Amino acid sequence: CLFFVCPQNGFTPLYMAAQENHIDVVKYLLENGANQSTATEDGFTPLAVALQQGHNQAVAILLENDTKGKVRLPALHIAARKDDTKSAALLLQNDHNADVQSKSGFTPLHIAAHYGNVNVATLLLNRGAAVDFTARNGITPLHVASKRGNTNMVKLLLDRGGQIDAKTRDGLTPLHCAARSGHDQVVELLLERGAPLLARTKNGLSPLHMAAQGDHVECVKHLLQHKAPVDDVTLDYLTALHVAAHCGHYRVTKLLLDKRANPNARALVNLARPTFPE
């Protein structure tokens, strides 16, 4: 169920294939000269969107390609991807910059967060990596770990001072990312640590809207148990019940109604024409 456009310019075919996790298309485009360093006007590259969406295979392909051509990925990123603490330690002896960036603006800690590699992440943090380093689109390592559902990584980043209410350029907090992806353990952890229930994206979406969109019943339960308003509305007065009904999610619809969501709430928009998600 896809809706809520986040308008951007500069989409390339490779970007769109990476966003939708079309692995064969990503490979074919790269083999035929697609430039993975081309970014949208908001700074999103194919690697950036694949990381944000949690598309592990697409990320791996783009990272591998990033080491071959003109867009070279720093060696420390490769060590972070492999959870290779020995190599990472050696690299940091020669170059003390733990926050070296890839072409897409991601640090080794972003990569470690994506793969859930706690060992190398701990090393990076101990060597001075910025826990809240933001890529050009505003993504922090905590956003990445939350999106991927890497609970131990989320805990590590929070314990090291990660900003729990950090927002991407689209207004997504780590709680939005976890709720949208259905990672109920991460949702519960973030809520226990004080994540803002009422945080809004640019379109006014709360974490509850995100969980309803994905039919993530357990996430919805956690959010409601932590007193998320059941009839919370977007800028267009959409409730979570509107979202669940539009997407045909019976279980979430029933749960929201059981929690006394207003079945007659009126929104200002018609969601009949789904398009790219936020």
pLDDT digits (tens, 9 = 90+) for 84-113: 898 889 888 877 789 999 877 899 999 999
For the residues 186-207, what does the mean pLDDT come to? 96
**Does residue 13 contact residue 35 with C-beta atoms inside 8 Å?**
no
Question: Which among 94, 105, 158 has a CA at the least distance from the CA of 127?
Answer: 94
Query: What is the spatial distance between Cα 11 and Cα 224, in angstroms, rounded to a whole number?
Result: 37
> Of the ranges 29-43, 49-63, 135-149, which is most confident?
135-149
Taking each helix axis from N to C end, the angle separating 217-225 and 184-192, rounded to the nearest 10 degrees, works out to 10
- Tell me which architecture the domain covering 13-163 has in CATH: Alpha Horseshoe (1.25)
Q: How confident is the model at residue 183, as a pLDDT? A: 98
Its pTM stands at: 0.77
Confidence of residue 1 (pLDDT cuts 50, 70, 90): low
Question: Is the pLDDT confidence value at 226 over 70?
Answer: yes
Q: What percent of the chain has pLDDT over 70?
A: 89
Is the four-CA dihedral 29, 24, 55, 53 of positive or negative sign? positive
Q: What is the pLDDT of residue 267?
A: 86
CA distance 200 to 161: 22
pLDDT at 73: 55
Break the chain into its structural domains and give their ranges. Answer: 13-163, 196-278
Residue 59's identity, in one-letter code, is V
Cα dihedral 22, 28, 31, 35 sign: negative
CA dihedral 89, 91, 93, 94 (to 10 degrees): 180
- pLDDT for 276 equals 32
Whether pLDDT at 141 is above 70: yes
Distances (CA, A) of 66 to 102, 104, 186, 188: 9, 10, 30, 35
Q: How many residues does the chain have?
A: 278
Query: Taking all residues of the chain, what is their mean pLDDT, rounded to a whole number?
Result: 88
With respect to CATH, is domain 196-278 assigned 1.10.287.3510? no
Give Cβ neighbours of residue 112 (< 8 Å, ≥ 6 apart): 80, 81, 83, 118, 120, 121, 124, 141, 153
Q: What pLDDT does residue 208 have? A: 98
Q: Please give the pLDDT value at position 43.
A: 63
Work out the angle at residue 181's Cα, subtended by the Cα atoms of residues 180 and 187, and round it to the nearest 5 degrees: 80
Pairwise pLDDT comparison (264 vs 95), residue with the higher score: 264
Percent of all residues in the chain with a pLDDT value above 90, rounded to a whole number:
65
Distance of CA 129 to the CA centre of its chain: 20
